[in-house]
């Protein structure tokens, strides 16, 4: 189970795909419970323990390869 949590009141919210893709990680949102802003950090429960999920950046060679594939022309 993945979730985000307000660090002020510990209210938990289910995570969604936008949070997990990393686009919104480290951004601030406002808690609907305590109304205070908090930074988005996605947590995952593994073996009964909550751990932050780290978004891994693609390696440079993967970025290059993806760019080449996108820009390839088929004649």
Count of Cβ atoms closer than 10 Å to residue 2 Cβ = 14
Mean pLDDT for all residues in the chain:
79
Can you give the residue range of the structural domain that contains 9?
A: 2-71
CA separation for the pair 75, 14 (Å, rounded): 46
In the chain, which residue ranges form alpha helices assigned H by DSSP?
17-20, 60-71
Residues in the chain, how many? 75
Number of domains in the chain: 1
**pLDDT score recorded for residue 34:** 95
Per-residue model confidence as pLDDT tens digits over 4-27: 899 999 999 998 877 776 667 678
């Amino acid at each position: 189970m993945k979730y985000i949590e307000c660090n002020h009141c510990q209210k938990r919210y289910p995570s969604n795909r936008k949070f997990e893709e990393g686009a919104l990680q480290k951004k601030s949102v406002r808690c609907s419970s305590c109304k205070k802003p908090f930074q988005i950090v996605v947590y995952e429960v593994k073996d009964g323990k909550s751990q932050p999920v780290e978004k891994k950046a693609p390696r440079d060679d993967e970025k290059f390869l993806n760019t080449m594939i996108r820009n390839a022309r088929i004649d």
